[in-house]
Structure 1
Amino acid sequence: MSIVMITGSAGLIGSEATEFYAGLGYTVVGIDNNMRETFFGAEGSTIWNRQRLEGMLGVNYKHHTIDIRHADQLNDVFRLYGEDISLIIHTAAQPSHDWAVRDPFTDFGVNANGTLNLLEAMRHYCPEAVFIFTSTNKVYGDRPNTLPLIELDSRWEIDPQHTFCNGISEEMSIDQSMHSLFGASKLAADVLVQEYGRYFNFKTVCFRGGVLSGSKQSGVQLHGFINYLMRCAITGTPYTIFGYEGKQVRDVIHSSDVISAFHAFYTNPRRGGEVYNLGGGRDSNVSMLEAIQISQEITGREFNYTYSDVARAGDHQWYVSDMAKFKAHFPEWKQAYNHIQMILEGIFEENKDRWSVAI
């Protein structure tokens, strides 16, 4: 029996991975204690997604409601499945800049200590497993804001002559910049995952994501930009733009494309702690103002938003991922959702009835 273990299995990336690997015939062991509701309140709850998975997948999905900060609980699960675990996808996290400031101990406990607990459990119970970590572009801190940017009508854009004109590569320094406490805890986890790959020669990888999006996310104001924006567009909920005149740019990748990248690594893993930037790149990126305009076109409704000139500390003014390294290592990988319009339309079509009723 081949086991895929997924932390945060009821979240956006976790649930997409759960469906994918169960569909391939794997038994999926899900670890998720719905802590997203603790972070963001009822609208952040992932219970609906867990129930959907359990109803749809039946015996192919085995759920464990445990906290990754508790090593003894994790070890019990790892001991149960042992060397049958061939893949660990770690997506569980505290994902918000703003929330981290409220409770740094919980933020670091979940993001850093929880990751260490998983790596140690793998080392003792299934050292030949592939370990995939959903990291973040926030490990680069606010260093992207030092790039030479040009102000256009609806967005900021990088100088076309700059080294990173095709996107920010893994060569960008992670040092001597402001990360936010969230960015610091994720960076600690990122370095740990690399170190277990290098020191123990394990098959570990960090995917430093841009905006990961899709229809199954429980988007909230503090996390899940694209999903939450479309939710506000459908329901008429007021939305706040924070800083940069709404011209800040993000690259957006669909959750199914994230999972196909994970699977490419799993089927041809590399030892030694690989790192890849993962995002929509030059094919799929958008500013806040542009995303609002697209959402208005899709919903046929005027978007209700206000502007605050106070940017979030450590926030990126322009971030587009350079995927060249990953594409060179895995040339068979293709991005199916290669335009932001496709992603927003998918979120709208799959959620319009549920959201219009729920709110």
Structure 2
Amino acid sequence: MSTVLVTGSAGLIGSESVKFFAHLGFNVVGIDNDMRAYFFGESASTTWNRDLLKDALGEKYQHYNVDIRDRKEVESIFKEYSSDISLIIHTAAQPSHDWAANDPHVDFSVNANGTLVLLEATRQYCPNAVFIFTSTNKVYGDTPNYLPLEELETRWEIDANHHYTIGIDESMTIDNSKHSLFGVSKVAADVLVQEYGRYFDMKTASFRGGCLTGPAHSGAKLHGFLAYLMKCTILSEAYTIYGYKGKQVRDNIHSYDLVNAFYQFYQNPRCGEVYNIGGSRHSNCSMLEAIQMCEEIAGKKLDYTYSESNRSGDHIWYISNVDKFKSHYPNWQYKYRIQDIISEIYIAQSSKY
């Protein structure tokens, strides 16, 4: 049986990938050195998830506590498994645009240079493998904020006659906008993944995600919107809404649905592809709507305050148009809606806290 290599393997999308492919019978190699704890503190550590994977999967899962920027160590792993690796799923990242401004060197080296290390190792040791990168909608910068939006009772919404009414597709420019430094480092990685596909004819794809979420998310103040929101609701911790009257809209995709999309691509890969992927019109909510759902499911009121200062470059409204991916892979379908996602997060966190 072939091997799947997953970076960020103890994180939300990484661990979902590990479980998904292990259950299909693949052997899985995971690379994760718990930098999430370095970024966001011990409460955001993913070691608990790493240990669950190792206990549940046994010999099907081999874990390496390695930094993806360490070229020597990464190449050593690729050499060891070179004859077996058929898929690389790259989810490891510094994921917060707020954090990136505090240490741009670390942000860029993890997101951009780390991706280069992995792409080149793939080219040198298993060039026929499929390479999947979890990119982000932040590659579009703040361009979505200049769409014609109107304020409704609980959310901002786009003009009903606009081209992007059903969601933002891959035609949106990534130029001439404010990305945040995090967005810039992810753009660099995204373009690298495309270029290795187009220049070297490698089977690569950048999946530009909306809000990626699910019960395995170690939510923190600076990253993990729904998971952190539910955590604050359960524990009666103070929460702050930043700007846009709390009506900013995000589409939310369950980690399982995203990884299932990866699997569809793996079975019939293409070279240098880009896909917008998220909850689309199927699964989305505003901040105020998310708070209401969390309160109803948890049976508790959230202690929140409002700040007029929105995060620089933050999206007012973002919903993904996934039509391109669905046209290429018509067998892919959503399993989870927003209410299902929040309910699963509540169940997982209730047992944890």
TM-score tier after normalising by the smaller chain length: over 0.9
Cross-structure match for 1:336: 335
Cross-structure match for 1:279: 278
Letter of the 1:230 counterpart = M
Cross-structure match for 1:304: 303
> 5 Å matches for 1:131-210?
131-210=131-210
> 5 Å matches for 1:317-332?
317-332=316-331
Q: Does 1:347 align with 2:317?
A: no
Cross-structure match for 2:243: 243
> 5 Å matches for 1:1-359?
1-271=1-271, 273-337=272-336, 339-355=337-353
Q: What does the per-residue CA deviation read over 1:166-218, in whole Å, with 9 as the maximum and x for residues that have no partner?
A: 00000000000000000000000000000000000110000000000000010
- TM-score when normalising by structure 2: 0.99
**C-alpha distance in structure 1 between counterparts of 2:267 and 2:235, whole Å:** 41
Q: Which runs of 5+ in 2 are unaligned?
A: none
Q: Per-residue deviation at 1:25?
A: 1.1
**C-alpha distance in structure 1 between counterparts of 2:47 and 2:111, whole Å:** 21
**C-alpha distance in structure 2 between counterparts of 1:283 and 1:296, whole Å:** 21
Q: Per-residue deviation at 1:83?
A: 2.7
Q: Per-residue deviation at 1:231?
A: 0.9
**C-alpha distance in structure 1 between counterparts of 2:266 and 2:171, whole Å:** 24
**C-alpha distance in structure 1 between counterparts of 2:192 and 2:323, whole Å:** 24
**C-alpha distance in structure 1 between counterparts of 2:35 and 2:189, whole Å:** 18
Q: What does the per-residue CA deviation read over 1:37-95, in whole Å, with 9 as the maximum and x for residues that have no partner?
A: 00000111000000000000000000000001111110010011113100000000000
SS in 2 for 1:352: helix
Letter of the 2:126 counterpart = C
Moved over 4 A (4+): none
SS in 1 for 2:281: coil
Letter of the 1:340 counterpart = I
Q: Per-residue deviation at 1:127?
A: 0.0
Letter of the 1:313 counterpart = S
**C-alpha distance in structure 2 between counterparts of 1:224 and 1:303, whole Å:** 17
Q: Per-residue deviation at 1:353?
A: 2.1
- RMSD of aligned C-alpha atoms? 0.6
* Identical-residue share of aligned pairs (%): 61
Q: Which runs of 5+ in 1 are unaligned?
A: none
**C-alpha distance in structure 2 between counterparts of 1:303 and 1:232, whole Å:** 7
SS in 1 for 2:282: coil
SS in 1 for 2:139: helix
